[in-house]
Amino acid sequence: MSPSSAGPPAGAPAREPTEQDRIVEEIRAAAGLPPLRGGHPDRAYGPYRSTALRSPSQPLVVAPPSLVERFAPVFGAADVGALDHDLTRRHVGEPLGERIVVTGRVCDRSGRPVRNQLVEVWQANASGRYRHEGDQHPAPLDPNFTGGGRCLTDDEGRYRFVTIKPGAYPWRNHTNAWRPAHIHFSVFGTAFTQRMVTQMYFPGDPLFGLDPIFSSVTDELAQQRMIARYDHDTTVAEWALGYQWDIVLDGPGATPEDPEDD
């Protein structure tokens, strides 16, 4: 996603470069480097300032997964409540905002569905405010919205959430930094090695090219894999707009043998 919306428009009078301009310059420089395996971000991604002290300086040690790491925790009915997938029905009233349905499939890299496995989400409210003591964005909390949900995938690997569209919000990476609207996703595979946490974005967001976290995925095709698709067939008449977003977990899945059977 080229950050073409950044900086002053062509022909505008010259001005001092802003901190955001410098971030965009860094984003553009990093976009020219070859992407990492799978399109994942480099943990030491300069434009996202907090990575500076939180990314390992030693290379990862390549190791074959152990028997433990080749299997994943198993989830079921005891772990997920009947309404946990619906973030709009946790309180007495309905939350403010644009009601949406977000659905898709969780698969491994072979295209095999990840069945009956846990998908968790958390997000800001429609105003771009999280229900968290660390969020000081002066936007209103919504008494009818907490913003966390979970569900199990079905036999085809499908998940489905009902929620409201989160707002964009400011953060302190640099002056005038704003996060594009996103929903955080946490997904388990059939192997511990497939564990994934990521963020789902909405199509056409003008903040993509300005945002160091989105842009930390430098390959444009890989960026597209983080963006949901508006889908009118998922839209529910008179009720909610629909988005489709498929998730592909990295790494091989569990071997078919049950660990109890050996």
State yes or no: is 169 an active-site residue: yes
State yes or no: is 43 an active-site residue: no
Residue 20 in the binding site for another protein (CB under 8 A): no
From 10, 11, 12, 37, residue interacting with another protein (rule: CB under 8 A): 37
Which of 226, 219, 211, 229 shows the shortest CA–CA distance to 3?
211
What tokens were used for 76?
């079921």
Among the listed ranges 7-15, 91-99, 222-230, 235-243, the one in contact with another protein (CB under 8 A) is 222-230
> Cβ(196)–Cβ(171) under 8 Å?
no
State yes or no: is 129 an active-site residue: no
Contact positions with another protein (CB under 8 A) in 134-163:
134-135, 146-148
Number of residues that bind another protein (CB under 8 A): 87
Residue 204 in the binding site for another protein (CB under 8 A): no
State yes or no: is 130 an active-site residue: yes
State yes or no: is 85 an active-site residue: no
Residue 186 in the binding site for another protein (CB under 8 A): yes
Residue 75 in the binding site for another protein (CB under 8 A): yes
What tokens were used for 108?
């491994």
Smaller CB separation from another protein, 29 or 44: 44
Residue 192 in the binding site for another protein (CB under 8 A): yes
- Separation of alpha carbons 113 and 108, rounded Å: 7
Q: Are strands 99-107 and 158-164 parallel, antiparallel or unpaired?
A: antiparallel
> Cβ(173)–Cβ(212) under 8 Å?
yes
- Separation of alpha carbons 198 and 229, rounded Å: 16
Tell me which of 115, 131, 160, 184 is the catalytic residue: 184
- CB atoms inside a 10 Å sphere around CB 156: 11
Annotated active-site positions, please? Answer: 130, 169, 179, 182, 184
